[in-house]
Chains A and B, each alone.
Chain A
């Protein structure tokens, strides 16, 4: 595979994007999981599906969309979805979690309509649903890198606010942390990461890469920083093993990456049980 990476550009794109996603998805995922918002990434990825399906459908109808990378519309849909979730959470204050199924259903609904209208998209759509090693273009890689820079800067500079809001939101509000703006920015960043990750792990599995490595990490870590480091390590292991096996077995990398994450989690849980 190493030799092939140097030979084929598509493999370089896939491996580099994968490594970057293995870093940023679990990194952001930790903040999502500890705030008990794990389902948000599911909701947003389904909204991204609506965007992708819409873009693929329009590309059959309008020339402009034929030249447009569907990832853009997918990402835009996820960003809109993230802002709508925030809005709904404020409308349904006592039933905050209701915002997630509403947006998730809307995403699948629109997705289903576009897919039906286009009478199916064949392999294109399957690639977006479960990820693909061969479909990652150089342009996709650049998008992933740009988003990674945004995410890393966001977490680096707002780490203390994000920690404070995650650990004790009421205290954070009282002590003067601007929850509203940070939360809105956080949602948009989450949408961007989902957009960036869907080429490799696929829309249906992107939330797993944000939650499974974190689920394993919080079993081991005593500190928040430790949990962040473990999450990234587990995310990278899952991506590397997942991509190698997807390449040799010629199957969708989303599946192999997520199944590897599940194995990591099982090993951690088992190891912890044996030790105790």
Chain B
């Protein structure tokens, strides 16, 4: 019997590249309305796990369910909004307005051979309102700053009204101040709209304080649970699984940094 509010369910995922193990027996469940921060050092298997969740890679062992449906038969991709790290690295001279980019988030929801309508345009504008970028809708995407572009990509992910937002290091290349306001916006989205979030990052920082749940990955899951329990973990424990010394930054310290 499937839990109706289960959004991502990974069971015993193992994956290898040639002879090196990327993921070993990883199990994790994300439920409706939860905001998960998946943290781990570089090369810990985070991207592999994301690819598996997004259906871009089939794991060697283990099962993946999305919204209670095995991933092989999952056809409701529009319920997932995805913001990649690479979004920062798109061709900056690409001739497209902010509105065109956001509308493209409706592509698969509309279905083949159907054209965008005025209502679709309004939905894109509404999504831009959420990320406070509606006044920039006619500007070329390449003219915006990294932080603003990332907001537009969030809007593109939100326009199909997803139940789950998956983000791969969305603040790479964005300065501290913008990253903090970006994370606050995510937290707001999670609280106000009830969107489940899975955010992947190699930074052990403010995002883990905004998230409701934290998972620590270094090829295998070293910790997963509520944010409060994660906070109880000592810096020594944290550094132990992370592989090198890690120090938590708390709210006040991050404010001083900005």
A residues bordering B, Cβ < 8 Å? 34, 36, 156-161, 163-164, 166-168, 170-177, 217-218, 221-227
Assess whether B4 is interfacial by the CB under 8 Å rule. no
Contacts of B112 in A (CB 8 A): 157-158, 161
Contacts of B170 in A (CB 8 A): none
Question: Could you tell me if B91 and A34 are in contact, using CB atoms closer than 8 angstroms?
Answer: yes
Q: Identify the closest chain B residue to A225 (Cβ).
A: B100
The size bracket of the interface on B is 35 or more
Instruction: Supply 15 further A-B pairs (C-beta < 8 A) apart from A172-B104, A223-B138.
Output: A159-B115, A160-B104, A160-B107, A161-B112, A163-B96, A167-B96, A171-B84, A173-B56, A175-B82, A177-B108, A218-B93, A222-B139, A223-B95, A224-B95, A225-B100
The 4 closest A-B pairs by CB, nearest first: A176-B77, A176-B108, A227-B95, A222-B140
CA separation between A36 and B91, bound complex, in Å?
A: 10
Question: Could you tell me if A175 and B77 are in contact, using CB atoms closer than 8 angstroms?
Answer: yes
Contacts of B75 in A (CB 8 A): 176
Question: Could you tell me if B100 and A224 are in contact, using CB atoms closer than 8 angstroms?
Answer: yes
Q: Identify the closest chain B residue to A159 (Cβ).
A: B115
Question: Could you tell me if B77 and A221 are in contact, using CB atoms closer than 8 angstroms?
Answer: no
Q: C-beta contact mask, B74-107 vs A, less than 8 Å → 1, else 0?
A: 0101101010101100110111110011011111
Q: C-beta contact mask, B138-160 vs A, less than 8 Å → 1, else 0?
A: 11100000000000000010001
- Offer 27 A-B interface pairs, CB within 8 angstroms, sorted by A: A34-B91, A34-B94, A156-B115, A158-B112, A158-B113, A160-B103, A161-B112, A163-B100, A163-B107, A167-B90, A167-B94, A170-B86, A171-B87, A172-B104, A174-B56, A175-B82, A175-B105, A175-B160, A176-B75, A176-B108, A177-B107, A177-B108, A217-B95, A222-B95, A222-B138, A223-B97, A227-B95
Which residue from A166, A167, A168, A174 sits with its C-beta under 8 Å from B77? A174
Contacts of B95 in A (CB 8 A): 34, 217-218, 221-224, 226-227
Which residue from B113, B140, B160 sits with its C-beta under 8 Å from A223? B140
Contacts of B106 in A (CB 8 A): 160
Question: Could you tell me if B82 and A160 are in contact, using CB atoms closer than 8 angstroms?
Answer: no
Which residue from B55, B103, B104, B139 sits with its C-beta under 8 Å from A174? B55
Assess whether B16 is interfacial by the CB under 8 Å rule. no
Assess whether B176 is interfacial by the CB under 8 Å rule. no
Assess whether B116 is interfacial by the CB under 8 Å rule. yes
Assess whether B110 is interfacial by the CB under 8 Å rule. yes
CA separation between A2 and B203, bound complex, in Å?
A: 70
Contacts of A221 in B (CB 8 A): 95
Contacts of A176 in B (CB 8 A): 75, 77-78, 108
Contacts of A164 in B (CB 8 A): 104, 107
Q: Identify the closest chain B residue to A172 (Cβ).
A: B107
Q: C-beta contact mask, B114-127 vs A, less than 8 Å → 1, else 0?
A: 01100000000000
**Residue with the greatest number of chain A CB neighbours at <10 A, chosen from B80, B94, B106, B107:** B107
Contacts of B105 in A (CB 8 A): 175
CA separation between A157 and B114, bound complex, in Å?
A: 6
Contacts of A159 in B (CB 8 A): 115
Q: Identify the closest chain A residue to B77 (Cβ).
A: A176
CA separation between A167 and B138, bound complex, in Å?
A: 17
Assess whether B134 is interfacial by the CB under 8 Å rule. no
CA separation between A93 and B242, bound complex, in Å?
A: 33
Contacts of A36 in B (CB 8 A): 91
CA separation between A161 and B103, bound complex, in Å?
A: 11
Question: Could you tell me if B84 and A170 are in contact, using CB atoms closer than 8 angstroms?
Answer: yes
Q: C-beta contact mask, B200-231 vs A, less than 8 Å → 1, else 0?
A: 00000000000000000000000000000000
Q: Identify the closest chain B residue to A153 (Cβ).
A: B113
Q: Identify the closest chain B residue to A222 (Cβ).
A: B140
CA separation between A175 and B115, bound complex, in Å?
A: 17
Assess whether B172 is interfacial by the CB under 8 Å rule. no
Question: Could you tell me if B116 and A160 are in contact, using CB atoms closer than 8 angstroms?
Answer: yes
Q: Identify the closest chain A residue to B141 (Cβ).
A: A167
CA separation between A166 and B93, bound complex, in Å?
A: 13
Question: Could you tell me if A224 and B96 are in contact, using CB atoms closer than 8 angstroms?
Answer: yes
Assess whether B54 is interfacial by the CB under 8 Å rule. yes
Contacts of A218 in B (CB 8 A): 93, 95
Contacts of A217 in B (CB 8 A): 95
**Residue with the greatest number of chain A CB neighbours at <10 A, chosen from B86, B93, B104:** B104
CA separation between A177 and B104, bound complex, in Å?
A: 11
